């Protein structure tokens, strides 16, 4: 199982608060104050919602099933996940993977922004409602914001539905359609990081035929 490297720990240890009690999430978490993972500084960052079961066990963001899927999709559109920094909106696992509450997002935001300050990304892929709210202050459905770019303090934030919501649809009729929208957001993110790179991913010509029947 992946672990933080010594050099990552040197960077983050002064920031990490393993005894944090700023919100109630520390009470049931195995890993309190889960650190981000990836190179520092880093042009591209990926912001999730919260650690899940595996992330809580191992203290590494996106190391479970959703992370495997996300990394595969990033590779598919021509991005190397090893060159991205992965972190979460709240750093402790919410009980039963429930959505983090507004007061928990607020309590964790100094840690989130401290990580952003050190990572200094050009672009952040913002996964899900909680992440969007934390970094842009925008409330509401991520599905309304996706397809756009929110520029703030010199950083381009790219809203994108959360990969776990895509994985959940794997056996549904709507899966291919949702997957395609998801990948289009990844492509927006990639094009900010590598504006001149050859376009590796194109929307398939039969896309319309694969729209779900309503």
Residue ranges in contact with ligand URA by CB under 6 A = 48-52, 55, 61-62, 64, 66-67, 88, 164
- At its nearest, how many Å lie between ligand URA and the CB of residue 69? 10
Residue 34 vs 79, nearer CB to ligand URA: 34
Q: 5: which 2 tokens? A: 């490297």
With CB atoms as reference, the residue minimizing the distance to ligand URA is 48
- At its nearest, how many Å lie between ligand URA and the CB of residue 35? 11
Closest CA to 125 of 73, 188, 67, 195: 188
- At its nearest, how many Å lie between ligand URA and the CB of residue 197? 27
Q: List, as own/partner pairs, every contact residues 63-67 make where C-beta atoms lie below 8 angstroms and the sequence separation is at least 24, other chains included.
A: 63/1, 63/2, 65/167, 66/163, 66/164, 66/167
Residue 100 vs 183, nearer CB to ligand URA: 100
Residue 81 vs 194, nearer CB to ligand URA: 81
Residue 53 vs 200, nearer CB to ligand URA: 53
Instruction: List, as one string, the DSSP characters of 112-168.
Output: HHHHHHHH--SEEEEESHHHHHHHH---S-HHHHTT--EEETTEEEEEE--HHHHHT
- At its nearest, how many Å lie between ligand URA and the CB of residue 70? 8
**Phi-psi category of 197—alpha, beta or left, where left has phi over 0 and alpha has psi -120 to 50?**
beta
Q: 160: which 2 tokens? A: 């994108």
Residue 79 vs 92, nearer CB to ligand URA: 92
- At its nearest, how many Å lie between ligand URA and the CB of residue 180? 21
């Amino acid at each position: 199982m992946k672990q933080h490297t010594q050099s990552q720990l040197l960077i983050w240890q002064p920031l990490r608060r393993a005894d944090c009690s700023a919100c109630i999430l520390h009470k049931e978490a195995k890993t309190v104050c889960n650190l981000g993972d990836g190179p520092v500084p880093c042009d591209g960052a990926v912001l999730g919602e919260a650690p899940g079961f595996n992330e809580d066990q191992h203290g590494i963001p996106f190391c479970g099933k959703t992370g495997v899927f996300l990394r595969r999709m990033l590779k598919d559109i021509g991005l190397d996940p090893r060159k991205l920094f992965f972190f979460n909106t709240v750093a402790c696992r919410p009980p039963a993977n429930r959505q983090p509450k507004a007061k928990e997002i607020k309590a964790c935001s100094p840690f989130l922004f401290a990580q952003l300050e050190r990572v200094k990304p050009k672009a952040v892929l913002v996964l899900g409602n909680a992440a969007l709210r934390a970094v842009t202050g925008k409330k509401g459905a991520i599905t309304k914001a996706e397809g756009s770019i929110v520029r703030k303090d010199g950083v381009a934030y790219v809203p994108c539905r959360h990969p776990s919501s895509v994985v959940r649809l794997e056996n549904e009729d709507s899966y291919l359609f949702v997957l395609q929208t998801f990948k289009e957001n990844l492509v927006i993110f990639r094009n900010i990081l590598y504006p001149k790179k050859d376009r590796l991913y194109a929307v398939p010509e039969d896309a319309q035929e694969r729209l779900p029947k309503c």
